Amino acid sequence: MRHTFLALGAALLAGGPGPAAEPLKPPEVWRDYDPDRGEWREEVVRQETAGGVLSRDTYISAYVLDQEIRVYCQYRVQAGATGAPGLLDVHGWMGAPSPSREFVTNGWAVLAFDYCGKVAGRAHYTRYPESLRHGNMDAQAGPSISTRITDVKQSSDYLWYALQSRALSYLARQREVDRTRLGAKGYSYGGTLMWPLATDPRVKAVVAYFGIGWTAYWRDKQVWMYNVPYVEPPRSPGETIFLEGLAPEAYVPYIKAATLHLNGSNDHHGGHERGLESFKRFAPGVPWSFAVQARGHHNTERIGQDAALWLDKHVLGKDVFWPAHPRAALRLDREGVPELVVTPASVARVTKVEAWYALKSPASFARSWRDTACVRQGDDWVAKLPVLNVADYVFGFANVTYDNTVVVSTDFNAAIPAKLGAARATDQRTDAITGAAGGLAAWTNVAPVEGPGGVQGFRAVDSRQGCGTEQLADPKWQAPPGSRLGLRFYCTQPVTLILTAGDHYEGEVEFTACDQWQEMAIGPEKLRFRFNQRPLQSWSEIGKIALRPKAGADISKVIFADLRWVGGGGR
């Protein structure tokens, strides 16, 4: 990464020689690494032109810590292209290179490379020498090695960062590529790798999906921002070395590339609010933006259109409208009810404002996000956030959609209503999981449907994945002690489904055939822990449930209605 920090390192060292501060900062970590150094030793293992696209799979050499690593790459470009913008496309944890067809179709030259190393069943992969075998992802747990390192270069991340920079050099030297127009996108752990790459002056823009850092130490030790009380446990020497010199968040102050982050509110990488702390560290004048999909885990289908627009704007120089960052704040209304006030930029081009809020859990990926209506009031949009307890946190954020489909999110907002003034708790617990009190907004892979007798229900729309909800983590819908899971169902053919609860409880449920609605109530003991077969003690332990088909069954044939807690004494 000599390109990345050459000028920066010179500026830092201009005051004269002296002992390097410990632990090392990113400029010092990469001061001696040159991604262009050494012979390429290119080996073409496959090349063909089909459907107007040139495909070339190769091995190249990278030189890291005086060792040669053979890096497996896949390159795709339209046949005969000249002056094409280049895109480095980086896969996720235990993934494999897969150049984006969409970007190739749109005129980009796309290079993907493997960094996870030897994986069973793969003919081609990056080959680490024995001395660097920890680069193989199946050989260790990646960033967790940070607790044991005594030198930043002992970390596997150091190898992966170095290979990425070498791959960028290889992309830039392809004859079809305009090396003045280079961008990158990375998915999952590939998103994590985008943050150091964004410091490379050769890169105009990056898109980081999910990966944003804040995992080593922060997530691993559950140092959530809204823990009560908030405590940061001591860091091991290895953690300190990693956090200062290799963690993605350490690179943010040095970023020069326009940076877009796309995330799910419940994704395990870095967390929702902790991850957004990175944007407070950007240098003035560096473009950045982010969008967060409510209830998203490893999915961004509702906001993913941002990626191409961002790269078009900042790599290709197209006149793509991108709004300024929206403002949002939590306050109390005249009745003492918490509300989120959203103030978008470029109001005339706004087509939609959506807001969500959550109670309780300080762990971002464990939250149950509720939909709440946004009502326009002048140039603001206001969403009510009724709560059960004014002495506990309420969290909120909003997404603003514009007329060119760009979606941007507000900052994460959190407050204890009682500390805002004379707050009132106006929400109530309910035993209804679906229906008028529950709704389907928090369910995945379902569609509303009207059953016999005009009964409003729902069915799963994905016959393989089934359907489910995580809203039971919300205290409004949490099961009372001693309750059973009640529901109505309609199906004309017998179906066996698997009911799962939490992460590890499951049990088979038989849905018998009938030409009328039927009812059942499922006790928690029906579900067993998959590892030791211990029965579930209480539904109140559970934050999420799902229904999926047993092999050969078709879940879409069943209509469900009126899921509720029964027999627990009510509310």
pLDDT for 569:
64
Cis peptide before 475 (omega within 30 of 0): no
- pLDDT 10s digits, 238-248: 999 999 999 99
Q: How far apart are CA 278 and CA 269, in angstroms?
A: 13
The arithmetic mean of pLDDT across residues 351-361, rounded, is 96
Size (the chain), residues? 571
In the sheet with 467-469, reading across from the earlier edge strand, the strands are 443-444, 467-469, 545-549, 495-501, 505-511, 528-529
**H helix runs in 141-216, sequence order:** 156-172, 189-197
pLDDT for 348:
98
User: The pTM is what?
Assistant: 0.92
Contact 190, 95 (CB under 8 A): yes
Mean residue pLDDT across the chain: 93
pLDDT for 148:
78
Amino acid at 356: W
The arithmetic mean of pLDDT across residues 13-21, rounded, is 39
Assess whether pLDDT exceeds 90 at residue 121.
no
Token duo for residue 307: 């990626």
- pLDDT 10s digits, 69-92: 999 999 999 999 999 999 999 999
Q: How far apart are CA 295 and CA 499, in angstroms?
A: 21
The arithmetic mean of pLDDT across residues 405-434, rounded, is 97
- pLDDT 10s digits, 488-542: 999 999 999 999 999 999 999 999 999 999 999 999 999 999 999 999 999 999 9
In the sheet with 84-90, reading across from the earlier edge strand, the strands are 43-50, 53-64, 67-78, 109-113, 84-90, 177-188, 205-210, 258-264, 288-293
Contact 198, 163 (CB under 8 A): no
Assess whether pLDDT exceeds 70 at residue 7.
no
pLDDT for 462:
86
Assess whether pLDDT exceeds 70 at residue 353.
yes
pLDDT for 65:
96
**DSSP per residue over 394-408, as a string?**
EEEEEEEEETTS-EE
Q: Is the dihedral of CA 260, 264, 265, 267 positive or negative?
A: negative
The H or E element that residue 374 is part of is: strand 374-377
Q: What angle, rounded to 10 degrees, do the helices at 156-172 and 189-197 form?
A: 70
CA geometry: angle at 203 spanning 173 and 170, to 5°? 25
Contact 218, 242 (CB under 8 A): no
Q: How far apart are CA 72 and CA 96, in angstroms?
A: 10
Percent of the chain with pLDDT over 90: 89
pLDDT for 15:
38
Tell me which DSSP letter residue 20 carries. Answer: P
Domains defined along the chain, listed by start: 2-314 (3.40.50.1820), 327-419 (2.60.40.10), 443-566 (2.60.120.260)
- pLDDT 10s digits, 308-345: 999 999 999 999 999 999 999 999 999 999 999 999 99
pLDDT for 571:
57
Q: How far apart are CA 568 and CA 564, in angstroms?
A: 11
Dihedral, CA atoms, 194, 195, 200, 201, nearest 10 degrees? 100
The arithmetic mean of pLDDT across residues 36-42, rounded, is 98
Percent of the chain with pLDDT over 70: 94
Assess whether pLDDT exceeds 90 at residue 3.
no
The arithmetic mean of pLDDT across residues 406-423, rounded, is 98
